[in-house]
């Protein structure tokens, strides 16, 4: 599998079909396979937070979750990388777990983990939900006692990635762990994704700005700071 190194993080060039096969294979293994859904905000944070950069770099799979990454990779590097949203990555895991009769833990989500799990259970009736727990980054025993095969952690970055490294790897039953940010909010109906046409045009950030103006700082990082850092990296490679 090839990758593109952007702001110190190698992002894997993985297709949707590749992702499904990887998930199916890793659910049969005996150690935690950590997946990061890397968006521009991740890369901006990683550029100034070496601990987070190292954690991302050490993840077993880094998926491109950002139209900005895909667009700038094409414009500045003449490279094509497929964007697969974090929501899609997480739902693919739900689907594969249902197919393989594997249990999935929903952790975090600030009050919506139950609703998110119920939505996925309704869509994939064979999905085994190990448990749901709002919890916090210190949670361990609540997860460990259910012996889940996989886990979705919705603490937001970088807390969710740190939790998987520090706590998730202590849970012997876990085969796959993914930090999923606000995915539970979308599944629970607390937040709405942009229309498909805006997603395809790379304008999901604009949709979010309209609906959630309080996110302007995060959007500024993704839309303004990230391109500046990436252009700088191309002009002055280290």
List the chain pLDDT tens, one digit each, 238 residues: 799 999 999 999 999 999 999 999 999 999 999 999 999 999 999 999 999 999 999 999 999 998 889 999 999 999 999 999 999 999 999 999 999 999 999 999 888 999 999 999 999 999 999 999 987 767 787 899 999 999 999 999 999 999 999 999 999 999 999 999 999 998 998 766 667 676 665 656 555 655 555 656 766 677 789 989 999 998 877 6
Alpha-helix residue ranges (DSSP H) falling in 124-224: 141-144, 159-166, 183-188, 196-200, 204-211, 216-220
Classify residue 12 as exposed, middle or buried by CB count within 10 Å of its CB (0-12, 13-18, 19+). buried
- Reduced to 3 states (helix: H, G, I; strand: E, B; else coil), residue 109 is coil
d(CA 221, CA 228): 10
Quick check: 47 and 222 in contact, CB under 8 A?
A: no
pLDDT for 192 equals 65
Closest CA relative to residue 165, chosen from 20, 12, 25, 53: 53
Residue 83: C-alpha distances to residues 70, 119, 209 (Å): 6, 24, 20
pLDDT for 149 equals 98
CA angle 220, 13, 40 (to 5 degrees): 10
d(CA 70, CA 39): 10
Quick check: 65 and 39 in contact, CB under 8 A?
A: yes
pLDDT for 135 equals 73
Examine residue 158 and say whether the peptide bond preceding it is cis (omega within 30 degrees of 0).
yes
d(CA 190, CA 94): 19
- Reduced to 3 states (helix: H, G, I; strand: E, B; else coil), residue 212 is coil
d(CA 6, CA 230): 7
d(CA 82, CA 15): 6
- Furthest-apart CA pair in the chain: how many Å? 52
d(CA 83, CA 102): 26
pLDDT for 194 equals 61
Alpha-helix residue ranges (DSSP H) falling in 101-170: 113-123, 141-144, 159-166
Taking each helix axis as running N to C, give the angle between helix 40-48 and helix 50-58, from 0 to 180 degrees, rounded to the nearest 10.
Answer: 130
Can you give 73-100 as a three-state secondary structure string?
A: HHHHHCCCCCCCCHHHHHHHHHHHHHHH
């Amino acid at each position: 599998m090839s990758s593109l190194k952007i702001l110190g993080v190698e992002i894997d060039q993985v297709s949707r079909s590749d992702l499904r096969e990887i998930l199916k294979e890793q659910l049969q293994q005996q150690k935690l396979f950590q997946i990061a859904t890397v968006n521009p905000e991740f890369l901006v944070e990683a550029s100034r937070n070496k601990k987070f950069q190292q954690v991302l770099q050490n993840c077993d799979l880094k998926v491109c979750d950002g139209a900005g990454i895909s667009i700038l990779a094409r414009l500045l590097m003449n490279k094509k990388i497929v964007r697969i949203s974090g929501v899609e990555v997480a739902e693919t895991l739900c689907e594969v777990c249902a197919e393989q009769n594997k249990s999935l833990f929903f952790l975090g989500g600030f009050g919506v983990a139950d609703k998110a799990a119920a939505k996925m259970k309704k869509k994939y009736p064979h999905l085994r939900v190990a448990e749901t727990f709002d919890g916090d980054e210190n949670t361990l025993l609540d997860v460990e006692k259910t012996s889940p095969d996989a886990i979705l952690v919705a603490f937001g970055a970088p807390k969710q990635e740190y939790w998987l490294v520090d706590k998730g790897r202590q849970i012997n039953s876990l085969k796959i762990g993914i930090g999923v940010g606000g995915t539970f909010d979308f599944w629970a109906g607390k937040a709405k994704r942009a229309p498909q046409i805006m997603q395809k045009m790379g304008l999901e950030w604009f949709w979010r700005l309209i609906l959630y103006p309080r996110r302007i700082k995060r959007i500024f990082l993704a839309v303004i700071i990230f391109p500046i850092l990436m252009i700088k990296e191309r002009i002055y490679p280290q």
